[in-house]
């Protein structure tokens, strides 16, 4: 009975109970008489072999299972659970059973071979008779968790995984073999009835050709429900993976540095200019639904990064970008006016890089550098391409683009002159527009 003595002493010390207090609690809660001397003898090991009734009475007042006092192994009796009431421990057992069922693991037999696997209360009396206040009964806990386990979880990544699997040319059965799962597992994941583990998800993504660590982490976070509150998450199933990855980085950014020699960067675009730019990118076939979706997403991006959560934006623009009458002169002027309004904001820096032999102009064209909030993490570079944007995250590549942006900042006009430069360009555009109209009218009249 050395184990019994040690367990009894440990529980009493942990709860700060004296021999007299335990004796009084036994009498009050069970009606059984135990003296202070008897408890002292049990605790010191001088009294051994208590009866089953006395053992149960002690377990009841100390709020542990009898098996714990006898030294039997029971995960729910181990610290930090040993000090919990019987009803709380039984509720925890029920939660564990639900978790094992969700992971397709066999149930735990808490009561020995041949007996039911779901836990039974260690003491038959209700918790109220033990002097324990429980806001919820075990039955209420079971009902609450049963309703949540029966409810179909949100299908956050299933549809996207199905599309990737089909592009990779794999059947669902072949994908089951990839993860070593039981038949039908991948179909359940794709249907949203089963949530994949992180390891399983990464294995599938790698086999499907999604090897980029940022994109894999995006899937892992999405499957775990960590991205549900992101403004862009409703578009997760519809947008290219590279764009979703970019939006997540941009949404977390503390600074975005940009250079463009072709078009105005998206975050600085007037909506009329944005529509004209997207029309020209899809010319001559102009899909109205894609343009509407693009503008809808652009509004969200600008609202968050320009208004709701102002982020430091630093843009260096080639002068030729502003002189391009994309969408016509009226749209061009509205865009310049929009840039003048943005340049007046304290968190936005705009510089104009004029043409000429004494000006720096990097090879390769436009790029963006996104600074994430993690200390010590390098910026991430995004480079526009024909069908997608390429991400650069290795140290040499990031350093090269960071130096290029620094050289552009030195080559371009000073930030303090942004409004003056933009006003001069606006005047030039207006003057050239009038001149063209005059020539056109003259040609018609002649």
Domain stop point among 149, 180, 198: 149
Question: Has residue 393 been placed in a domain?
Answer: yes
Question: Has residue 235 been placed in a domain?
Answer: no
3-class SS of residue 249? helix
| DSSP-derived secondary structure for 392-436 | E-SHHHHHHHHHHHHHHHHHSPPGGGHHHHHHHHHHHHHHHHHHH
Are 143 and 172 found together in one domain?
no
* Strand 380-384 with 389-392, pairing: antiparallel
CA dihedral 416, 419, 423, 424 (to 10 degrees): 20
Are 364 and 432 found together in one domain?
yes
pLDDT of residue 100: 66
pLDDT of residue 316: 97
- Neighbour-count burial of 340, counting CB atoms closer than 10 A to its CB (0-12 exposed, 13-18 middle, 19+ buried): middle
Per the structure, the count of domains in the chain is 3
Cα R_g (the chain), whole angstroms: 35
Question: Has residue 410 been placed in a domain?
Answer: yes
Are 274 and 216 found together in one domain?
no
Question: Has residue 262 been placed in a domain?
Answer: yes
Total Cβ atoms within 10 A of residue 363: 5
CATH code for position 79: 1.10.260.40
Are 248 and 307 found together in one domain?
yes
Domain stop point among 186, 207, 229: 229
Question: Has residue 276 been placed in a domain?
Answer: yes
Are 213 and 315 found together in one domain?
no
Residue ranges making up the domain that contains 208: 158-229
Are 211 and 250 found together in one domain?
no
Name the one residue in this structure whose structure tokens are 């149930």: 107
Question: Has residue 145 been placed in a domain?
Answer: yes
Question: Has residue 234 been placed in a domain?
Answer: no
- Neighbour-count burial of 233, counting CB atoms closer than 10 A to its CB (0-12 exposed, 13-18 middle, 19+ buried): middle
- Helices 172-179, 198-207: axis angle to 10 degrees equals 130
pLDDT digits (tens, 9 = 90+) for 58-113: 888 887 778 778 876 555 445 555 556 666 666 777 777 777 666 656 666 554 44
Domain stop point among 149, 179, 213: 149
| Separation CA 336–CA 169 (nearest Å) | 48
pLDDT of residue 256: 97
H/E stretch holding 317: strand 312-318
Are 371 and 262 found together in one domain?
yes
Question: Has residue 379 been placed in a domain?
Answer: yes
CATH code for position 221: 1.10.260
Contact (CB, 8 A) for 390 and 382: yes
Long-range contacts of 137-145 (CB under 8 A, 24+ apart): 137/87, 138/87, 138/90, 138/91, 138/94, 141/91, 141/94, 141/95, 142/91, 142/94, 145/94, 145/95, 145/98
- In degrees and rounded to multiples of 5, residue 346 shows phi and psi of -70, -25
| Separation CA 153–CA 143 (nearest Å) | 17
Are 302 and 419 found together in one domain?
yes
CA distances in angstroms from 358 to 351, 354, 365, listed in the order given: 16, 9, 18
CA distances in angstroms from 326 to 294, 317, 342, 385, 424, listed in the order given: 17, 15, 20, 20, 19
Are 250 and 323 found together in one domain?
yes
Are 279 and 400 found together in one domain?
yes
pLDDT digits (tens, 9 = 90+) for 351-362: 999 988 889 999
pLDDT of residue 130: 42
Are 289 and 144 found together in one domain?
no
Are 103 and 18 found together in one domain?
yes
pLDDT of residue 154: 78
pLDDT of residue 324: 93
Contact (CB, 8 A) for 3 and 11: no
CATH code for position 380: 3.30.870
Low-confidence spans in the chain with pLDDT less than 70: 1, 72-90, 100-153, 375, 441-446
Name the one residue in this structure whose structure tokens are 């940022």: 214
């Amino acid at each position: 009975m050395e184990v019994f003595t040690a367990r009894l002493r440990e529980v009493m010390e942990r709860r700060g109970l004296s021999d007299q207090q335990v004796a009084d609690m036994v009498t009050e809660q069970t009606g059984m008489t135990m003296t202070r001397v008897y408890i002292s003898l049990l605790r010191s090991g001088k009294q051994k072999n208590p009866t089953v009734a006395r053992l149960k009475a002690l377990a009841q007042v100390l709020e542990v299972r009898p098996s714990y006092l006898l030294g039997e192994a029971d995960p729910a009796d181990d610290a930090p659970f040993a000090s919990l009431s019987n009803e709380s421990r039984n509720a925890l057992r029920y939660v564990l059973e639900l978790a094992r069922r969700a992971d397709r693991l066999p149930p735990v037999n808490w009561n020995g071979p041949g007996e039911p696997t779901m836990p039974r209360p260690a003491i038959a009396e209700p918790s109220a008779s033990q002097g324990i206040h429980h806001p919820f009964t075990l039955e209420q806990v079971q009902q609450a968790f049963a309703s949540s386990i029966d409810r179909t979880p949100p299908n956050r990544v299933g549809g996207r995984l199905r599309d990737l699997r089909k592009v990779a040319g794999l059947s669902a059965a072949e994908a089951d073999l990839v993860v070593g799962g039981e038949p039908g597992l991948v179909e359940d994941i794709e249907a949203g009835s089963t949530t994949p583990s992180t390891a399983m998800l990464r294995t599938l993504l790698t086999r499907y050709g999604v090897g980029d660590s940022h994109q894999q982490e995006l899937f892992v976070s999405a499957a775990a429900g960590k991205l549900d509150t992101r403004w862009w998450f409703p578009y997760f199933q519809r947008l290219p993976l590279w764009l979703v990855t970019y939006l997540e980085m941009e949404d977390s950014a503390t600074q975005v540095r940009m250079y463009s020699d072709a078009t105005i960067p998206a975050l600085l675009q007037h909506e009329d200019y944005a529509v004209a730019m997207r029309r020209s990118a899809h010319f001559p076939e102009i899909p109205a639904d894609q343009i509407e979706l693009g503008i809808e997403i652009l509004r969200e991006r600008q609202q968050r990064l320009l208004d709701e959560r102002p982020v430091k934006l630093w843009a260096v623009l080639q002068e030729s970008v502003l002189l391009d009458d994309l969408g016509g002169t009226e749209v061009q002027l509205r865009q310049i006016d929009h840039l003048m309004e943005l340049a007046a904001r304290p968190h936005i820096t705009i510089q104009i890089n004029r043409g000429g032999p004494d000006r720096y102009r990097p090879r390769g064209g436009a790029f963006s550098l996104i600074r994430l909030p993690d200390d010590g993490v390098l910026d991430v570079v995004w480079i526009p391409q024909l069908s997608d944007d390429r991400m650069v995250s290795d140290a040499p590549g990031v350093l090269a683009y960071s130096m290029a942006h620094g050289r552009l900042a030195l080559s371009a006009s000073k930030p303090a002159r942004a409004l003056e430069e933009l006003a001069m360009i606006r005047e030039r555009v207006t003057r050239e527009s009038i001149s063209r109209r005059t020539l056109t009218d003259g040609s018609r009249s002649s």
